[in-house]
């Protein structure tokens, strides 16, 4: 299965959350599922449907496919602590996510593109794998020839310092970030319920 590259607005409306920041305006205008009968869809969702929807939210928000998501869940299950919280920590530790959180890109898809186009270094070495999992203390910086990218400067100008999480140390002037630690669940403001995903995979 290929990564979803279609219109995100319809997916956001179907799931009821903005999977990329720009979709927030579409949800404000049309806060109901797409389609001819979108506004008429009512009724209580089944437990399975709610669990499946939460999984889809997480997969679309972080841009992860099913097989990889299952691997992350298996790894989270083996870790000490709460499985759902461990899963969020793993997803937040992805290189593309940290590039987005640091303000170097306006969305995770844009951050993924920066990584795959070889614009970034991790601890001085070129890394072009968006799913690369960072460890505490890892340093992310742009290659010398990529430091004048207008798209990066533009993204940084739109990201207030107050929106940069405390678990990432960002040097905007030098386009450099340090991954301090994986965040606690309370530090991640994303609209999904990971516990329902745990229940889904535990059946």
**Is the per-residue pLDDT at 32 higher than 80?**
no
The domains found in the chain, sorted by start residue, are 92-185 (3.10.290.10)
CA distances from residue 12 to 33, 75, 151, 183, 192 in whole angstroms, order as listed: 8, 28, 24, 25, 13
High-pLDDT (> 70) share of the chain, %: 79
pLDDT at 202: 86
Q: What is the pLDDT of residue 203?
A: 73
pTM: predicted TM-score of the whole model, two decimal places = 0.82
Q: How many CB atoms lie within 10 A of CB 18?
A: 20
User: How far, CA to CA in Å, does 153 sit from each of 26, 100, 189?
Assistant: 26, 13, 24
pLDDT of residue 14: 57
């Amino acid at each position: 299965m290929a990564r979803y590259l279609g219109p995100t607005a319809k997916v956001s409306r179907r799931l009821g959350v903005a999977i990329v920041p720009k979709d927030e305006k579409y949800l404000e205008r049309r806060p109901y599922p797409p389609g001819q009968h979108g506004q008429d869809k009512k009724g209580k969702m089944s437990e399975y449907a709610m669990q499946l929807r939460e999984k889809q939210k997480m997969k679309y928000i972080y841009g992860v496919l099913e097989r990889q998501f299952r691997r992350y869940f298996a790894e989270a299950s083996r870790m000490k602590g709460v499985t759902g919280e461990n899963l969020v920590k793993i997803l937040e530790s992805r290189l593309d996510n940290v590039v987005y959180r640091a303000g170097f890109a306006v969305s995770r898809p844009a951050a993924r593109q920066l990584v795959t186009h070889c614009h970034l270094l991790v601890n001085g070495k070129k890394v072009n794998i968006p799913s690369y999992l960072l460890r505490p203390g890892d340093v992310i910086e742009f290659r010398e020839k990529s430091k004048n990218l207008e798209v990066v400067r533009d993204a940084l100008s739109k990201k207030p310092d107050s929106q940069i999480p405390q678990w990432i140390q960002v040097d905007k002037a030098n386009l450099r970030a340090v991954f301090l630690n994986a965040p606690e669940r309370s530090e991640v403001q994303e609209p999904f319920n990971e516990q329902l995903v745990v229940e889904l995979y535990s059946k």
